[in-house]
Amino acid sequence: MNKYTGLLSFIFGVILTVFVFLSWRSCNKKDEGALINQDYYLITNQIQKMNKMVVLEQDFSSFQTHKSSAASIAGFDILPREMVLYTTAKAQVSYDLKKMKIDVDTVNKKLIIDELPQPEIKIFPDVKIHFMDDYAVNRFKQKDINGIMESAKKNMIKSVNQEKLKQESRQQLKDNLNEIFVLAKALHYSVEDKTNTFSSKEL
């Protein structure tokens, strides 16, 4: 009887140990799953907060001079006229981050940048007449003034170095995305950029 009682006690002990182990592992899995879900929510929620943003603005200005005359004889202008224009422009570089594609790999704890939007450049020129000198018989007509001002706007747009703007906006974009990167690193996620926009040292 004692022999069987000991055997039953042993079997019961083994079953109890297995049960406790399985229960412990199940709880750990639940806790781990909850943490993974929490990490995923925190990162994706931060990504969703990012809407279309203007990441860079710059102002430009210049003076442009327009000269013409009624005629030219022996190198001398007859009835010359002159107009000096003050031209300004505001340049904006924006990224539509709704087009951004970022994958959150909770298994390997990676934040993967699959696609980043291209920068959108908009330039808003404005022209004012700073100085105008003409003769009564060789006045600037309103049609001429409008044409000169439109030409000045086009010249201002051409003068803006858009490639330089793109380079500067890339750093600004990285600064804006840094909120996501910092959160990911705080959760022990590595950041991988498949677009090659940023170097590994910048991430």
Selection from 91, 88, 100 nearest residue 56 by Cα: 91
Which of helix, strand or coil describes residue 187? coil
> Is residue 140 a contact partner of residue 153, using CB atoms and an 8 Å limit?
no
pTM of the predicted protein model: 0.69
Q: Where in the chain are the domains?
A: 52-202
Strand ordering across the sheet containing 110-115: 101-105, 110-115, 190-193
Torsional sign, CA 36, 38, 41, 44: negative
- For residue 94, pLDDT beyond 70: yes
Higher-pLDDT residue of 76, 80: 80
Mean pLDDT of 119-127: 95
Q: How confident is the model at residue 20 (pLDDT cuts 50, 70, 90)?
A: very low
Q: What is the pLDDT of residues 29-45, one digit of tens each?
A: 444 455 557 878 888 88
> Is residue 117 a contact partner of residue 95, using CB atoms and an 8 Å limit?
yes
Q: What's the count of helices (H) and strands (E) in the chain, helices before strands?
A: 3, 6
Higher-pLDDT residue of 180, 36: 180
> Is residue 111 a contact partner of residue 190, using CB atoms and an 8 Å limit?
yes
